[in-house]
Amino acid sequence: MIDNDMHQLAYNLNNELLDYINHRNLNKLNSNYGITSAMFEEIEEVINDVGVDLKKVGLKIKGGKLLDIWEFDELNGYGVEVDLITINGERTDLTLITELDKVGEGYKLEYRQLGVM
């Protein structure tokens, strides 16, 4: 069973990632998550494909909670899935997939995929 602290950490870090995506902060996306400008273009394309324009409205975690979190036993990390809605509460069918990797005494969020699920 995954404790509440890990859930909260995963939620907070995914929110931070979404904030950088919403504000198109390529410097933070690259330095914190390794997301290049080409990767960000792909992210924007997926978002646009579901009818969301980041220039007009941002994304947030649906229901204020994680869809799923699971532990990678051999890697000492966690996989995380969150469903996304617009900040206005409109459905998007987007799911953000990330990983929390153990780094020293803490964890680092790694972007894996944004897709239509």
Q: In this structure, is the dihedral angle defined by the CA atoms of residues 32, 33, 36 and 41, taken in order, positive or negative?
A: negative
* Domain spanning 4-116: CATH 3.10.450: yes
Instruction: Say yes or no to pLDDT of 75 above 80.
Output: no
- CA distances to 6, 25, 54, 56, 57 from 101, in Å: 12, 22, 28, 33, 30
Q: Where are the domains of the chain?
A: 4-116
Q: What is the pLDDT of residue 65?
A: 82
Instruction: Say yes or no to pLDDT of 1 above 90.
Output: no
**Mean pLDDT in residue range 21-40:** 96
Return d(Cα 27, Cα 13) in angstroms, integer: 17
Closest CA to 32 of 15, 46, 20, 44: 20
